[in-house]
Amino acid sequence: MVATPLPSLENHSPGHICPFDQACSYLEWAAKELKLDQGVVEILSHPRKVVTVSIPVKLDNGEIRVLAGHRVQHSDILGPYKGGIRYHPAVTLREVSALAMLMTWKCALLGIPYGGAKGGIPIDPKKYSVGELERISRRYISELIKDIGPSVDIPAPDMGTSAREMAWMMDTYSVNVGHSVPGVVTGKPVSIGGSLGREMATGRGVMIIVREALADQGKSLVGVRIAIQGFGNVGCAAAELLHKEGAKIIAVSTGAGGVFSPDGLDIPALKIYAAENRRSLVGFGEGIPISNADLLTLDCDVLIPAALENQITEENMSQVQAKMVVEAANGPVTLEANQFLADQGVTVLPDILANAGGVVVSYLEWVQGLSYVFWDEERVNGEMEYLMVQAYRRVIQESKARMANLRLAAYTLGVGRVARALTDRGLYP
């Protein structure tokens, strides 16, 4: 096990946007606006704990492979660490560190009593069998057994993981400690204490934020042309809910490319097609094939990047035609692109607000589990909607008060709350 105070284990190639450096520049941006003490900024620039474990796994063909598994705990000033676990080939320690920091601000912005963490394994889950994925997930969590727990650090699904992996992780943790601990993860199946509404929660939160932002412009969702990059947990749920509300989803994509139809796609049919074709849209009968790069610059009203970070950068920002960009993914718009788009009058709804629906329902799942009282889906959705709309309104208000764009407003609220708590708690010893 390697534990270092700084995620400096890897170098990023020149020209590549380092996600952790980018996360730190967002922090510095907000800190400058808030006139924070430099010592506080220094503390918040460093994750509290960085762990990398080795995961030896026996493949189905008998070969043994050793994978790396990361978990970064950024801050627990406001409560237990909280954050997803990502299985994707592009996972690096710096990316996980950046995402952990983002979680801290997101939970603070939403007013939920959690800190920020993130985990990840650099693998393409599509290249492993279900049995191999189960062995990887179980070994990863057993290596982290002393670092997680329902009042310590509570993982959840992220890219490449779902309720299935959470069930394996909850079971592994429970077997190791000798009793059932449902609260160690969220986003688990309902049969073992998961919350109704969790699966669709991030997509539902995205839909709520788009709806609120359009309403502020005197528009409704009906007929609004939306392009969505990514058709996984988040992108697919957002597409389905927005489509149900009357929006026209003109394009969706996965890593292998997407489909475009100016008249709007049949989202329920696409959802079934993706489920039957290992989440791929290639070969879907309707619409015109479109690349991910072209999707981002389509003529549309709302663009929702719901896949990876750094999708709208200095290279393509001037070609973006959408009037509203909603960050369903974490970090899809770079700092430079955010400033450029905001200056062009494009409404950019930042990730720490737009994709917070998932962590909000994770929190509601945790609350239900701790109180042994489980709610119906209507109540879960209602509580989530309330928290999302309140946070949206706070961001709008902050943006007006500071004459700042929405990202800076969201960050000043999130960072400001953590900084205040840090100052109130004081520094030990």
List of residues contacting ligand NAD (CB under 6 A)? 157-160, 202, 229-235, 253-255, 279, 292, 306-308, 328-330, 355, 358
> Nearer Cβ to ligand NAD, position 33 or 266?
266
The SS3 call for residue 136 is helix
| Position closest to ligand NAD via CB | 232
> Nearer Cβ to ligand NAD, position 254 or 405?
254
Edge-to-edge strands, sheet with 248-254: 288-290, 257-260, 248-254, 225-229, 302-305, 324-326, 347-349
Picking from 304, 128, 307, the residue whose alpha carbon sits closest to that of residue 233 is 307
Q: Tell me if residue 244 is catalytic.
A: no
Q: Least distance (Å) from ligand NAD to the CB of residue 107?
A: 12
Angle (CA) 293-298-301 rounded to 5° is 135
How far apart are the C-alpha atoms of 275 and 201, rounded to whole Å? 19
Q: How many CB atoms neighbour CB 423 within 10 A? A: 14
Q: Least distance (Å) from ligand NAD to the CB of residue 213?
A: 18
The SS3 call for residue 421 is helix
Q: Least distance (Å) from ligand NAD to the CB of residue 309?
A: 7
Q: Least distance (Å) from ligand NAD to the CB of residue 334?
A: 14
> Nearer Cβ to ligand NAD, position 292 or 347?
292
> Nearer Cβ to ligand NAD, position 308 or 384?
308
> Nearer Cβ to ligand NAD, position 222 or 282?
282
Q: Least distance (Å) from ligand NAD to the CB of residue 178?
A: 30
Cβ distance 192 to 167 under 8 Å? yes
Instruction: Kindly report the three-state secondary structure assignment for every residue of 300-329.
Output: CCEEEECCCCCCECCCCHHHCCCCEEECCC
> Nearer Cβ to ligand NAD, position 310 or 419?
310
Active-site residue, selected from the candidate residues 49, 82, 106, 118:
118
How far apart are the C-alpha atoms of 202 and 159, rounded to whole Å? 12
Alpha helical stretches, state H, 245-375: 267-276, 292-296, 335-343, 351-354, 357-371
Q: Least distance (Å) from ligand NAD to the CB of residue 86?
A: 7
How far apart are the C-alpha atoms of 155 and 148, rounded to whole Å? 8
Picking from 245, 293, 289, 287, the residue whose alpha carbon sits closest to that of residue 269 is 287
CA 400 → CA 219, 311, 409, 426, distances in Å? 20, 28, 9, 31
Q: Which residues are catalytic?
A: 118
